[in-house]
Every structure is written in structure tokens, then in C-alpha cells.
Structure 1
């Protein structure tokens, strides 16, 4: 069984979503002969992708640096009855291949699970290799489900659900190891399209997706030391969005802060704003502040440096929360 290993880095457990998802797909493929992996330039000798190809033969296709071709092939295989996972670097899957995902995938309702790695600013290679607009592109597509798994534990649960989901889905994950927010036993009821109330709170709501959830958790811990009770919501599924968990938070707290490793225009925060704005309940009319990459070609640096520079790390969330509450 492929399981996320809880390895300690300092005082925190860490894991790689990029490693966890392929291990889980391999495990699932051992039991299900209809599972196919279409890969783009991600199968070096000795990797799990390489092992997948050697184990399952014609159920593995490496298309090289030809992401558009991969997306077209994935759509055709899915419409032929295969359960297809299509992996590529997030910036090339979402930008270079967007027309192929749109026409061959979403338009045809082809049940392909597209997995973008190196998403957000985690590639550490600047704007050319950053998937910071992918949510916006994919969210505009009819029929497309979008999930930004919180950590390596969540992506394993997601892969289990994806096999039988039966719809086009875009999954974004980071490049390397990141802190684990969950333990496997805490996600037995994980469901695509349903947010997770990680921590209840009455003063302010922090909503994160992907690695933004961890930053929200750390910010809530810091706020708690000043007797500010922050609610933390893991909005892993951005489309279809969980309106109920958002509107409940809007009614019960004084404001909402959204956190994502993505441009603030068109991303998860924009989706939350649309839910709040579209509500007819006057009790949900609260301020929403979006944290993420602003409208610019972002600075060069490590993910942690970029998060801090634009104020969507734990410290930046903490400052924004206090400002919103007038403290």
C-alpha cells in the first residue's frame, strides 16, 4: 500500500504531493487494468513514472515535451473507456495546453484527471515556470472540476476518488516537500466539492487552498496567542465550490481572508467573493480580503521568500487579520 510517510523536519512532518500522487496511482493501477498514465517529460530512470511504465507497458505513454499532444491523447483514451491520469508541469499544462484541455477534455466531458506539478511559485524558476494563473483558466471552463490538495495526505485521498469520478478534473500540486496538515486517519470522509472545517472560530475566517491552508493554520495559532479566535477552512475544491461552508463562515465571523499561491484575480479568492456577493442573505455581507500574488510578474526567489514578500505567508495573514479586525 502506498502511504505518505510522516517524516519529521524540525518539529513538523513533511511530504511531497508530487511523489504521493504517482505512488497512489501505481497502487490503484495494480488493481484496475483500465488505468492509464499519460506523462510529459517526467519519467527519469528510477522514478515512479519509470517504474509505472516498466510495470504496465502500454498503459503508460511518455509524450516528452509535447503537452498539447499529451492532452489530446488523454482525451481520446478517456473517451475510449480508459481511466486516464495526465501529468505535466503545471505552467505548461495550464497555459501551453489550455486549448487542448478545453476542447479535448472539458468540451467532450472526457473523464481525464489532469495533474499539474510545480504549481504556484514552487518551481523557483520565475514567471516562465510558474503556474499562478491556472485556477483562473480552468475555472472558466464548463464541466471542469478544480482541486488544489492541501498536502500529500489529501492528494492520496483525492486520487482514490478520481478513479471513479467520471468527469474532467484539474489537480494542482507543488514541486517539493511541504508541511503535512493532516494525518491519513483524519480524512476518512474526504469528499470532492466539500470544504473541510479544520478549526472553528468566531472572530475571523481564514480560507486556504493548497499550501495556503498550512499558512492559515500557523496564522491562526499566532492569532490565538492574542485571544483572536480564527476559523480555518480548507477549500481544496475550488470548482464546484462549497457555498455552504463559505456562507456559514460569513454569517458567524466578522470577515474572511483567502490565501492561495496564485494571482488574486480569478483564483480561489475570487470564487469566494462571488459566493458572498451572490448571496441574498444580508447576514453574509462581510468583508473579503484576498491574499496571493498581485497583478505583476512576481519576484525571483524561493517559495517562502515570495509568500513573505507579497504577504500571503503566516505572518502576512496574521497582519491582515488584525487589520481587518481593527486591532
Structure 2
């Protein structure tokens, strides 16, 4: 008998691409280089994590416009604010946990209060690393949603990231983006009319049996689940909501009303506390819209360390777990 090849996994894998899935390498870094070619106001800044946020690509191309700030996230944010005051468009990068937990007050006082044009782009959002609570930013959206003037973006794939970079350059004001880095899956290329727009949700798939509203990597899971469910005769609508704040209230309310009497899921790579799910639940309540509302997200707890496929199954954000939850709601 031929022995099966053992697949190697790493707790630090930041790519969520399945084996054989088409990917794009470092879409953020390359998109920023492209944007900077026609805009000399763009600068890159990082807190010793340029290589792990794909900003090193920009640094290699534009060394005179790249600033390595060392392991000092508070300094990074304050320096970014200073660059914005001088008319530059700083893209500052670190990990989501360090921006949200360690540098919150500096972002609030130095950047958000003054509505400065700083773009905070952070890797390892939610459960995209197996290193455990020190690196898993499972509550970053909850932390930042309450900050005035801050736009929050949660792209789902390489196409979303590429398009969002130019959108951030064109947008005047502070932005926090949850970055998928490394080899990022291509998901939205099958939807010819898709275009990322700040503040806009987009229907990707139409189906009458259930509705999934999703952001980030969970849009990939929702699309995969919809494809699998379709083979079993279940038609699911998938609405991608890449901007968490400001929320596209008009589109979301219209989609939920179209699915009156059907299960409505909100899927996110974030704690069920304080993220997209609770934001939409609040929207529905304020507008007196009734729905069979369910959340698909991470539990309100510190998560384990381990390999990502195992953790995604354990915490309910794998494609198969999404399929199970939809099927259970229709049983």
C-alpha cells in the first residue's frame, strides 16, 4: 500500500485558501504600489510587521516613502496622524490585536477625533491564525464600532482588497481595514458586476429559501455553502457586506424584508458580541422588522491555539458548519 502524504499545517497560517483554490499573492501590497504610482502623497508605515502585512512590497518599491516604526504601535498611530496633518495619505499596518487593544486611545485621540486621513490596515483579523488569544483579534470590530468617525472595512478576498485600496485613497477620513494577507483566495471574480464601494452591501447570489448576510472571509464560506446547498435543492441568497461601518442599512433592510418568514443569518469572522451580527440585529429592531434571525460567528470566549481547519470547524465558521446551520433552520 502507498502511504498517504501527510498534510502539514501551521498555527501561524494566515491564508484561509483551501488546497487548489485560486489565490492572489499579497493583493494589498501590490494594489498600494499601483495606487502610489499616480499619487505621491501615499506613504507606508509599519510597526515592525511590514513583511507580515504585505507592506514590504510597497517599501521595496518606494523606500523613500516607507517608514519602519519598530514595535511601538502607539507611536505608529501618532506618527501616522502627523503625516496626515502634513497632507500625506499614510497607510499604517500592524496586527489587528495590536491596533485594537494596544493603540486604541491613540487612534481615538490622534486620528479619529480629528478625522485625519489615516488608513489603518491590520492583518490576522478574527480567527485567521492559530496562535491563540495573543494574536486572534476576535473582538476588534466590537472595539472599533463605537469609535466616532472611523470607517470599518472587512473585505472577503483578493479582489475586494485590491479594489478597496483605491477606494480608501479616494476617501477622505480614517479607515480601519481587516486585512487578509499572503496568498488570498479569489472569490468575487465569478460575479462580473461586483465592485467594492465603501458603505455598500452587494447581493451575490439569489435564492428564496434563506438569506445569509456576511463579511470578510465568511462571504467566501457563504458562497461555498450556497453552492453546496444548491446541489441539494436549497436556494440561498448571499449578500456581501464589506463595510461594517457605515452599514448599508437600506440594502440590508430591503433584503431582510424580501425574505420575510425565511431564516436570516449573519455570518462573520468575529465574536458574536459587538460585530456585524449585533449591528444588523439593532438595525432590524429599530425599524420594527421581524426576522428569523441567527448569528454565525465566533463564541464569546478566548479561543484555542491550533491549525486553522480544525479551529474553523470547532468554532463553527467552516463551510460545512455553515451548511449544517442552514439545513438545521430549514428542517
TM-score, normalised by the number of residues in structure 1:
0.89
Shift of 1:42: 2.3
Structure 2 CA distance for partners of 1:184 and 1:98, relative to 1, 3 Å:
farther
Q: What is the CA–CA distance in structure 1 between the aligned matches of 2:119 and 2:191, rounded to whole Å? A: 24
1:68–1:100 contact (8 Å) kept in structure 2: yes
Shift of 1:323: 2.3
1:149-164 to 2 correspondence within 5 Å? 149-164=155-170
Query: What value does the CA root-mean-square deviation take over the aligned residues?
Result: 2.1
Q: Name the structure 2 match of 1:5.
A: none
Q: Does 2:279 correspond to 1:263?
A: no
Deviations 1:255-300 (A, max 9, x none): 21111111110011111111111114xxx31021111111111122
Q: What is the CA–CA distance in structure 2 between the aligned matches of 1:25 and 1:101, rounded to whole Å? A: 22
SS in 1 for 2:94: strand
Structure 2 CA distance for partners of 1:131 and 1:64, relative to 1, 3 Å:
same
User: Can you give the 5+ residue segments of structure 1 that lack an aligned partner in the other structure?
Assistant: 1-7
Q: Name the structure 2 match of 1:15.
A: 24
Q: Name the structure 1 match of 2:310.
A: 305
Q: Name the structure 1 match of 2:93.
A: 87
2:29–2:54 contact (8 Å) kept in structure 1: yes
Structure 2 CA distance for partners of 1:9 and 1:267, relative to 1, 3 Å:
closer
Structure 2 CA distance for partners of 1:51 and 1:174, relative to 1, 3 Å:
closer
2:28–2:54 contact (8 Å) kept in structure 1: no
1:147–1:172 contact (8 Å) kept in structure 2: yes
Q: Does 2:167 correspond to 1:167?
A: no
Shift of 1:186: 3.1
Structure 2 CA distance for partners of 1:44 and 1:212, relative to 1, 3 Å:
closer
Query: Equivalent of 1:293, from 298, 302, 305?
Result: 298
Shift of 1:51: 5.2
User: Can you give the 5+ residue segments of structure 2 that lack an aligned partner in the other structure?
Assistant: 1-16
1:1-327 to 2 correspondence within 5 Å? 12-16=21-25, 19-43=26-50, 49-50=55-56, 52-183=58-189, 186=192, 189-253=195-259, 254-280=262-288, 284-325=289-330, 327=331
1:153–1:184 contact (8 Å) kept in structure 2: no
Count of residue correspondences: 313
Q: Name the structure 1 match of 2:4.
A: none
1:75–1:112 contact (8 Å) kept in structure 2: yes
SS in 2 for 1:12: coil
1:119–1:175 contact (8 Å) kept in structure 2: no
Shift of 1:187: 5.7
Q: What is the CA–CA distance in structure 2 between the aligned matches of 1:232 and 1:271, rounded to whole Å? A: 18
Shift of 1:175: 4.3
Structure number with greater CO (CA < 8 Å, separation at least 6) is 2
TM-score, normalised by the number of residues in structure 2:
0.88
SS in 2 for 1:81: coil
Shift of 1:158: 0.3
Q: What is the CA–CA distance in structure 2 between the aligned matches of 1:48 and 1:229, rounded to whole Å? A: 37
Deviates more, 1:241-250 or 1:171-180: 171-180
Q: What is the CA–CA distance in structure 1 between the aligned matches of 2:54 and 2:279, rounded to whole Å? A: 35
Structure 2 CA distance for partners of 1:60 and 1:319, relative to 1, 3 Å:
same
Q: What is the CA–CA distance in structure 2 between the aligned matches of 1:184 and 1:25, rounded to whole Å? A: 24
